[in-house]
Amino acid sequence: MSSPKTIRWGILATGGIAQTFTKDLLCDPKTRGVDSIVHTVVAAASSSSADRAQQFLKDVGAPSDAKAYGSYQDLVNDESIDIVYVATPHSHHYQNAMLCLEAGKNVLCEKAFTVNAAQAKALIKKAKEKDLFLMEAVWTRYFPLSIYVRDLITSGRLGPVHRVTADLSMSMSPETSFPDGKHRMVNPELAGGALLDLGIYALTWCFQTLYLTQPENERRRPSVQTAMKLYPTGADEMTTMLLTFPRRKELGGDAHAVAMTAMRAAVDPDGKGTAGPAVRIQGEKGEVQVFHPIFRPTKTRLVLQDGTVEDKTWKQPGPGQGSGWKNGFQDMVNEEGEGHGMFWEADEAAMALVEGRKEGKFEGLEESLVIMEVVDEVRRQGGLRYPDKIETTDYPVDL
Ligand SMILES: NC(=O)c1ccc[n+]([C@@H]2O[C@H](COP(=O)([O-])OP(=O)(O)OC[C@H]3O[C@@H](n4cnc5c(N)ncnc54)[C@H](OP(=O)(O)O)[C@@H]3O)[C@@H](O)[C@H]2O)c1
């Protein structure tokens, strides 16, 4: 057996998700049965200071020779990096991903990919021009759970799927949680609001079940009707999207989806799933349900008309109990030794580099762009507009 290929990562930004991702990245891939690649972190950059980047590298347990940079520009100039993970707020993705691409770096960019479709298109054009890998980091699509759900659809086990409902709503009071209006959830300067932060996952479930599962040459952009409620800052606090996915008659004809997100209502009020599933994928022979949280789901239920009821739990792998290792995001701390699940997308990016592919397998750039086009239309209908400096495709712009 040939030795595993090492992929050398640079981490751009040192916030919450950068920490979670990088800790997962440094988990031995063998703990999830992957032996053809290994990941290493060769550098991290913070826009605030090199000290901050140094502290980050220490906190995540990066190799001691990893470099700490005090600017993103210095990071992308580092010749030893194969791929950069962009983990800034979505308002900054366009500028930061473009910085990487211009410097000849492959990019894995956090969701939401960009603020609008024009920016997504410009990044895709640049990546093609430079023959670089570019992928939106929609980690959930690479979970074994998501693969199982899509297999249920493509194998015909559910019959033609006619309807999907997906909800990512977390009960919070924006006035209490974000009183100064500066947080990403409510701040238009950071492309804030429920839609790009949470709603993108509800859309992910609709798209990965009704779009990605169709033959590639038959996928069409869905039409959308929107109800949106704006918070006083101008960001959206509740958005409901009704989508129609065009589909050939022989495959079941048009399918409907409802994607929901809200700040003041919870899809899982008691945190135990008592209120029911957060995603329902409904076909002629039955349905598969996915339980909250749909960005990191661990539970599914298959209910078929023939009497089948199949509950499954999907724990994330990792170094295991007794390892003393823990990961999580914010106040969501996983069991000792259990990964967060962000390594699956990292493995996919690494495999793409090894194989010479330029985009992700379970969400190609064409689909990322179609989703941003739908988001543009949702925002147009809801009257959600961000400041010009973060909507622009001009580059470089100082944010
Ligand atoms: N996949 C997931 O599960 C998941 C979960 C949460 C968030 N996200 C996405 O990841 C991105 C970052 O979210 P996060 O929760 O990590 O945010 P965060 O904790 O606020 O971190 C963002 C980092 O970006 C850098 N940054 C640069 N300019 C900034 C600015 N003007 N304001 C704030 N930060 C700035 C900062 O790092 P430096 O000071 O080091 O430059 C900051 O620490 C967002 O796009 C979000 O949607 C994904």
Cβ–Cβ under 8 Å, residues 47 and 7: no
pLDDT at 2 over 70: yes
Q: How far, in Å, is the centroid of ligand 1 from the Cα of 91?
A: 10
Burial 105-122 (b: 16+ CB within 10 A, else e): bbbbbbbbbbbbbbbbbb
- The set of residues, in sequence order, having a beta carbon less than 8 Å from that of 355 and lying 6+ positions away, is none
Q: Compute the distance between CA of residue 318 and CA of residue 340 in angstroms, rounded to an integer.
A: 8
CA of 188 to the centre of ligand 1 (A): 15
Say how many Å lie between the CA of residue 92 and the centre of ligand 1. Answer: 9
In the reported structure, the alpha carbon of residue 35 is separated from the centroid of ligand 1 by a whole-number distance in angstroms of 31
Distance 365 CA to ligand 1 centre (A): 22
- Is 73 a pocket residue for ligand 1 (Cβ < 6 Å)? no
Is 340 near ligand 1, meaning CB less than 6 Å away?
A: no
Per-residue pLDDT reduced to its tens digit, 277-316: 999 999 999 999 999 999 999 999 999 999 999 999 999 9
d(Cα 279, Cα 205) in Å, to the nearest integer? Answer: 8
All CATH 3.30.360.10 domain ranges in the chain, comma separated = 144-313
User: What is the mean predicted confidence (pLDDT) over 9-20?
Assistant: 98
Pick the CATH number of 144-313 from 3.90.1150.10, 3.40.50.300, 3.50.50.60, 3.30.360.10: 3.30.360.10
Q: Is the CB of 88 under 6 A from ligand 1?
A: yes
Smallest CA separation from ligand 1 atom 24, residue: 88
- Residue 14 near ligand 1, beta carbon < 6 Å: yes
Does residue 48 line the site of ligand 1, with CB under 6 A? yes
Distances, alpha carbon 286 to alpha carbons 15, 70, 144, 237, 369, in Å = 42, 54, 21, 33, 31
Cβ neighbours of residue 149 closer than 8 Å, sequence gap 6 or more: 208, 209, 281, 288, 290, 300
Ligand 1 pocket: which of 47, 109, 189, 390 to mutate (most atoms within 8 A of CB): 47
For residue 12, the CA-to-ligand 1 centroid distance in Å is 10
The rounded distance, in Å, linking the Cα atoms of 84 and 109 is 8
Question: Residues 87-131: pLDDT tens digits?
Answer: 999 999 999 999 999 999 999 999 999 999 999 999 999 999 999
Q: Do 370 and 221 form a contact (C-beta atoms < 8 A)?
A: yes
pLDDT tens, residue by residue, 339-391: 999 999 999 999 999 999 999 999 999 999 999 999 999 999 999 999 999 99
Q: Can you say how many angstroms the Cα of residue 369 is from the centroid of all Cα atoms in its chain?
A: 14
16 C-beta closer than 6 A to ligand 1:
yes
pLDDT tens per residue across span 144-198:
999 999 999 999 999 999 999 999 999 899 999 999 999 999 999 999 999 999 9
Residues of the chain within CATH 3.40.50.720 domain(s) are 5-139
CA of 87 to the centre of ligand 1 (A): 5
CA-to-CA separations, 75 to 16, 220, 343, 353, 393, in angstroms, rounded: 19, 38, 22, 19, 22
What is the token pair recorded at 97? 């991903």
Q: Which atom of ligand 1 is nearest to the CA of 137?
A: 1
The burial class, CB within 10 Å (0-12 / 13-18 / 19+), for 30 is exposed
**Contact 111 CB / ligand 1 (< 6 Å):** yes
pLDDT tens column, 46-62: 999 999 999 999 999 99
What's the CA-to-centroid distance between 38 and ligand 1, angstroms? 25
Give the distance between the most distant pair of CA atoms in the chain.
61
Residue 70 confidence (pLDDT) above 90? yes
Measured CA to CA, the distance from residue 374 to residue 168 in angstroms comes to: 18
CA–centroid distance, 17 to ligand 1, in Å, is 7
Q: Is the CB of 287 under 6 A from ligand 1?
A: no
CATH topology for the 5-139 domain: Rossmann fold (3.40.50)
User: Are 280 and 298 in contact, with CB atoms under 8 Å apart?
Assistant: no
Query: Is residue 241 within 8 Å of 199, Cβ to Cβ?
Result: yes
pLDDT of residue 1: 63
